Amino acid sequence: MIATMICLACALLIAPASRSRRRFVQLFGAVRDVRKPQRDTIIRGSSGVGVALLAVLGVGPLVAGVLVAATVGIRVRRARRDRRHGSECANLLDAVEAVIGELRVGAHPSAAAAVAARESRGEAAQAFAVCAARSRLGGSGADGLQNPDAVVAAELNGLADAWRVADYHGLALAELLSASRADLLGRIRFRGRTAAALAGARATATVLAALPLLGIALGQLMGAAPLAVLFTSSAGTVLLPLGAGLGCVGLLWTDAITRKVVI
């Protein structure tokens, strides 16, 4: 039975692509982004690994492993997004400062946005480049700042609202952007202080989630053989994924509570 499952996993890994897929790659392969992995390859690889683990470990350990891997992936992706948000906010502050400086020396808003696009990086540079292009073509620069797919979409919307108010009511754009920049800087500092204050609570949640592993290790050293119960018995097929699921839910629940405070 195990040999059959392993052979099935190998077949999934080496299965050729369909004829239509191969024709599409031949026709449009040159314009595809080679940095992005093919979705079908990832699916087949994951399926093959899953079948192999199912044959070797069983249903319970496989489900527990999937839950733990999914939780780790979610937390890593959120941490990466938070770091990216922080760096993009810093870029946005630099871009807004450049716009304010250009406006105060008498530059046109489109020229000021173009300077900010050149002197900044990331999503802020892209947003102000679009803003400058729209302004030069007679459109509204505020519409160019809006980007719902950006990490700093909320911050860009705030700047767009200030720009729109200045256009509609004839107010000084530099003053409104200065107020928006001060508000953004205050929010960034508050978020940093709150995240630092909640670091202890997050670390405590992680330690509590890892305590069952310590208990299993101590039980194994004492000769109680908890690993044999969890990985080979019928009760372990239920207990192992149940325990892993409760630990993962606790971590994600803690993250959700702390993120509400930070955001």
pLDDT digits (tens, 9 = 90+) for 214-241: 988 999 898 888 888 888 888 888 889 9
Distances (CA, A) of 195 to 200, 201, 208, 218: 9, 10, 20, 34
Average pLDDT of the chain, as a whole number? 81
Residues of the chain with pLDDT > 90, as a percent, come to 30
Among 7-16, 70-79, 147-156, which is the least confidently predicted range?
7-16
User: What pLDDT does 248 receive?
Assistant: 92
* Owner of token pair 């996993």: 9
CA 18 → CA 24, 33, 111, distances in Å?
10, 20, 52
Q: Which of 14-18, 95-99, 172-176 has the lowest mean pLDDT?
A: 14-18
What does the pLDDT average to over 172-180? 91
Of the pLDDT bands very low, low, confident and very high (cuts 50, 70, 90), residue 178 is very high
How many residues comprise the chain? 263
Domain boundaries, the chain: 84-188
Residue 144 pLDDT level (bands cut at 50, 70, 90): confident
Give residue-wise pLDDT tens across range 199-216: 888 888 888 888 888 988
Could you read off the pLDDT of 14-52 as tens digits, one per residue?
A: 555 555 555 544 544 433 444 444 555 555 555 556 555
What pLDDT score was predicted for residue 115?
A: 92
pLDDT greater than 90 at residue 182:
yes
